[in-house]
Amino acid sequence: MSIDLAALTAELIAFPSHDDETEVQRFIARALERIGLRVELQEVIPGRYNVLACRGEGGPLLCSHADAFPPYDHPDPFTLRREGEVLIGRAVNDTKGQIAALIAALEASRGPCEVAITADEERLGRGSQALVPRAAAAVVLEPTDLAICPAQGGFLECELRIVGRPAHGTVPQFGYNAILAAVDCYREICALPPFTVEHPLLGRPWTTLGTIAGGYEVGVVPPFCTARFDLGIWPGIDLGEARAAVLAVVERFGGSLTILDESPGFELHADAEIVRRLAAAVERTGRPARLGGMASWTDAHNLIMKGIPSVVFGAGELGTAHSDRETVRLSDLGVVRDVLQILIDDWVDRPPHPEPNAPL
């Protein structure tokens, strides 16, 4: 019997997995065992696991993650809502709907493959760091609006501290407003060349001021401010040079900078074999294959670092993820299911041969 994608997605969403994905991982492991895959749990950190599965020998690696972003003020995060063809709920596209489509594709297909459902993708990526895949190439399932993404952005996550000078709030010219200085500093950083160069698949780099806090009250010019922000780093941009450019601006404002996390971008050649194979599978469903770029960090980064050519692909738009109205169209999950089934069953392993599938 074929899997009901909406029902399975609802079951996956019902597991809160923003702090600990263990229960949903056990559910996924049982589902994979029922359809005949060999399954094991790989402990990544104490009490948290990757689900690893395989069928036969060879084939592609199909990877997604079971952890979710915190619900924060989401009114009902763990109950799937449906408006016609649109499914709504926390992690419905990032990535529990993708996992439902993958399980359905595995049930419908017969070819060999590897599967990895990772832990900790949303935070430190320790799940994919722990993987030791045997596959020659991978598809990482994330919301791309059905675009095949051989390019992925990197990032600089920064904390800026500015020390100002207090003064009476009615004569601000006697002080130095640390909050305004932090905002001006951030705006200058966003205008730097590393964060304004457009990429043909990714467009213009993103910049996000996530938190800002400072000052005592409105009667005092704020003498301190701390801001945290993210800066997109596109493939081909030197991470060290970008970091140095940010620091130079911060120093001009008399501030201090802490790099909280960072990662370079990557890009496969458009004619890499995994791109061609996935494009052929998409076209077999009657849809045109589109190339795009994934702006966010995904497990594909760690797979690329392990020498496994990887692309990102999936249903839903990234822009709705992490929000109170995270959505995906049920029909698009059906496309992902069909594409993955075709990819698995049409896969023919070939001996390694030179080809342009390394990161640029």
CB 153 within 8 A of CB 205: yes
Global pTM reads 0.92
Q: Is residue 358 part of a domain?
A: no
281: containing domain: 5-152+266-346
Domains of the chain: total: 2
Q: Is residue 205 part of a domain?
A: yes
Helix (H/G/I), strand (E/B), else coil: 278: helix
What's the mean pLDDT when you consider all of the chain? 95
Q: Do residues 276 and 215 both lie within one domain?
A: no
Residue 176 β-bridge partners: 165
Please determine, for residue 20, whether its predicted confidence score (pLDDT) is greater than 60.
yes
| Range 47-68 average pLDDT | 96
Q: Is residue 290 part of a domain?
A: yes
Please determine, for residue 279, whether its predicted confidence score (pLDDT) is greater than 70.
yes
Phi-psi region of 316 (alpha: psi -120 to 50; beta: other; left: phi over 0): left
Q: Do residues 134 and 281 both lie within one domain?
A: yes
- Kindly compute the dihedral angle of the four CA atoms of residues 82, 88, 89, 92, in this order, to the nearest 10 degrees: 110
Residue type, 312: V
- Distant-in-sequence, close-in-space partners of 351: CB < 8 Å, separation ≥ 6: none
Q: Do residues 120 and 29 both lie within one domain?
A: yes
Q: Is residue 24 part of a domain?
A: yes
CB 100 within 8 A of CB 315: no
Q: Which of 232, 156, 227, 242 is nearest to 186 (CA)?
A: 227
Q: Is residue 352 part of a domain?
A: no
pLDDT digits (tens, 9 = 90+) for 110-142: 999 999 999 999 999 999 999 999 999 999 999
Q: Do residues 24 and 107 both lie within one domain?
A: yes
pLDDT band for 357, please (50, 70, 90 cuts).
very low
pLDDT digits (tens, 9 = 90+) for 287-301: 999 999 999 999 999
- Distant-in-sequence, close-in-space partners of 144: CB < 8 Å, separation ≥ 6: 292, 294, 312, 313, 314, 318
pLDDT of residue 350: 54
Please determine, for residue 38, whether its predicted confidence score (pLDDT) is greater than 90.
yes
Domain end point (choices 228, 263, 298)? 263
Q: Do residues 158 and 259 both lie within one domain?
A: yes
CATH number of the domain where residue 307 is located: 3.40.630.10
Say how many C-beta atoms besides its own lie within 10 A of residue 226's C-beta.
Answer: 18
Q: Do residues 113 and 59 both lie within one domain?
A: yes
Q: Do residues 294 and 317 both lie within one domain?
A: yes
pLDDT of residue 75: 86
Q: What percent of the chain has pLDDT over 90?
A: 94
pLDDT of residue 73: 85
Q: Is residue 14 part of a domain?
A: yes
Domain end point (choices 210, 234, 263)? 263
C-alpha distance from residue 260 to each of 123, 163, 190 (Å): 12, 20, 17
What stretches of 110-206 adopt beta strand conformation (E)?
Answer: 113-118, 138-141, 148-152, 154-163
Domain end point (choices 225, 247, 263)? 263
CB 246 within 8 A of CB 147: no
Q: Is residue 93 part of a domain?
A: yes
Please determine, for residue 359, whether its predicted confidence score (pLDDT) is greater than 80.
no
Whole-angstrom Cα distance, residue 338 to residue 326?
23
pLDDT of residue 355: 41
Q: Do residues 169 and 303 both lie within one domain?
A: no
Q: Do residues 107 and 237 both lie within one domain?
A: no
Q: Do residues 10 and 122 both lie within one domain?
A: yes
Please determine, for residue 160, whether its predicted confidence score (pLDDT) is greater than 60.
yes
Q: Do residues 137 and 226 both lie within one domain?
A: no
Q: Is residue 359 part of a domain?
A: no
Q: Do residues 138 and 240 both lie within one domain?
A: no
Please determine, for residue 198, whether its predicted confidence score (pLDDT) is greater than 80.
yes
Say how many C-beta atoms besides its own lie within 10 A of residue 196's C-beta.
Answer: 11
